[in-house]
Amino acid sequence: MTLAPFHLAIPVIDLPQAQTFYGDLLGCEQGRSSEQWIDWNFYGHQLVTHLVNDMPSLPKHNQVDDHAVPVPHFGVVLPWQDWQQLARKLEQHQMNFIIEPYVRFAGQVGEQATMFFLDPSGNALEFKAFKDINQLFAS
C-alpha cells in the first residue's frame, strides 16, 4: 500500500514565527501562501498554518509511560537516524521540550524514541522513531 500524504491545517498567531519554526528550525519547504496562511511540506505531508487572532485552549494531557502526553498533538515518524539528528538540533537550539527525547516502552512491543514540544503558537508536536518500523502498529 502506498502511503498517502495527509493534510492538516493548524492555527497560529504569528506567521513570521511559523516561518522561522517550521521553515528554518524544522526544515520544512514552504509552498503556497497568503497573508492568512502558509502551506508546508511537512516531511511529505501538507501542513497549513492558518493565522488566527486567538489560539484555542491549550492541550490537555494523558498519562503514557509515566509522562503527561499533550492531547491533541501531531507529528511524524522518522527513520531512527533522522530522529536522533533532529533531537540533537532541537537540543542545540535549546528547545523547551514538554517531554525530552527518550525511548518509550524500552524492551517491549512498540519500543520507540519520542519527543514532544510546542510550536510558538502552542500547537503540540510529537516526533518519534522505531528501530523496527514493523513495530509501528504492533499490539
User: Is position 1 within any domain?
Assistant: no
**What is the pLDDT, as a whole number, of residue 100?**
97
| Predicted local confidence at residue 69, as pLDDT | 92
What does the pLDDT read at residue 57?
Answer: 85
- pLDDT at site 65: 81
Based on the fold, state whether residues 39 and 13 are members of the same structural domain.
Answer: yes
Cβ-contact 128, 67 below 8 angstroms: no
The CATH number that applies at residue 31 is 3.30.720.120
Query: What residue ranges of the chain have pLDDT lower than 50?
Result: none
Do 13 and 74 have their domain in common?
Answer: no
**CATH number for the domain that contains residue 66:** 3.10.180.10
Is 124 found in the same domain as 65? Answer: yes
Instruction: Say if residue 127 is exposed, middle or buried (CB neighbours under 10 Å; 0-12, 13-18, 19+).
Output: buried
Question: 97 and 46 in contact (C-beta within 8 Å)?
Answer: no
Main-chain phi, psi angles of 80, to 5 degrees: -50, -50
What confidence score (pLDDT) does residue 1 get?
66
Give the range of the structural domain holding residue 34, as residue numbers without chain letter.
7-51
Same domain for 29 and 84? Answer: no
Q: Judge whether 111 lies within some domain.
A: yes
Q: Are residues 39 and 82 in the same domain?
A: no
Name the domain count of the chain. Answer: 2
pLDDT at 58: 77
Whose grid coordinates read 531512527? 80
Query: Based on the domain organization, do 123 and 66 belong to the same domain?
Result: yes
Helix then strand then coil, % of the chain, to nearest 5: 20, 45, 35
Residue 2: inside a domain = no
Q: How far is CA 87 from CA 8, 36, 62, 115, in A?
A: 23, 30, 23, 8
